[in-house]
């Protein structure tokens, strides 16, 4: 299930994402491409703090890859810069609600070590606790932060069970992409 929300309904919050402890490498097999890029994957634990989402991102030993903690898959380019995708699974709190939140992040790190990117909250649906209808997105940056910490700017709302977000009208569940390709004349 996906949740749609007007950007006017999202509140803006500032926080941090801080890695806790060392990364654990995930073996990828042959990981150097013909163009000289190196492919890597790692598991991390982290903590979210601030005015928006707060909580722990913790890898659980023996759990399926990507189902707990943070998994990062990166391409390290010959010049030392890298591009990456990350999936964070957080036991989080937001505005008095708690539950599991999945966050997809996409970013780049320059050859000088500056990391920037954006993330999407992808956690809608049953089994997510009080954050089942959390909707949002945000940006992150390492500029001005200590090593291992990213500054977050989050745009978030709990859409509620057919309820209201930030005092606005009810937000509806997104029915998926299949509805975008239908023929309006056919009624299907």
Give the per-residue pLDDT at 137.
95
Whole-angstrom Cα distance, residue 74 to residue 33? Answer: 13
Cα dist. 22→18, 31, 61, 89, 148 in Å?
12, 21, 15, 18, 10
DSSP states along the chain: -EE---GGG-EEEEEEEEEEEEEEE---SS-B-TTS-EEEEEEEEEEEEESS-EEEE---TTSPTTSSEEEEEEEE-TTS-EEEEEEEEEEEEETTEEEEEEEEEEEEE-TTS-EEEEEEE---STTSBTTTTEEEEEEEE-TTS-TTEEEEEEEEEE--SS-BSTTSSBP-EE--GGGGGS-GGGT-
Calculate mean pLDDT across residues 4-14: 87
Q: How does pLDDT run across 122-143, given as a tens digit for each residue?
A: 865 556 688 988 889 999 999 9
pLDDT band at 118 (very low <50, low <70, confident <90, very high): very high
Q: How does pLDDT run across 144-184, given as a tens digit for each residue?
A: 999 999 999 999 998 865 333 443 333 344 333 333 333 44
The model carries a pTM of: 0.81
């Amino acid at each position: 299930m996906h949740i749609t929300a007007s950007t006017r309904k999202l509140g803006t919050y500032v926080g941090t994402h801080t890695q806790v402890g060392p990364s654990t490498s995930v073996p990828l097999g042959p990981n150097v491409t013909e163009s000289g890029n190196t492919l890597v994957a790692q598991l991390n634990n982290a903590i979210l703090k601030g005015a928006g989402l707060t909580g722990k991102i913790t890898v659980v030993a023996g759990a399926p890859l990507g189902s707990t903690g943070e998994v990062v898959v990166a391409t390290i380019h010959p010049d030392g810069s890298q591009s990456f995708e990350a999936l964070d699974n957080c036991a989080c709190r937001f505005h008095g609600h708690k539950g599991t939140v999945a966050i997809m992040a996409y970013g780049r790190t320059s050859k000088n070590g500056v990391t920037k990117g954006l993330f999407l909250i992808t956690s809608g649906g049953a089994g997510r606790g009080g954050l089942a209808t959390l909707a949002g997105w945000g940006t992150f940056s390492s500029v001005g932060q200590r090593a291992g910490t990213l500054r977050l700017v989050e745009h978030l709302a709990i859409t509620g069970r057919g309820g209201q977000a930030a005092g606005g009208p009810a937000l509806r569940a997104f029915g998926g992409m299949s509805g975008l390709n239908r023929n309006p004349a056919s009624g299907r």
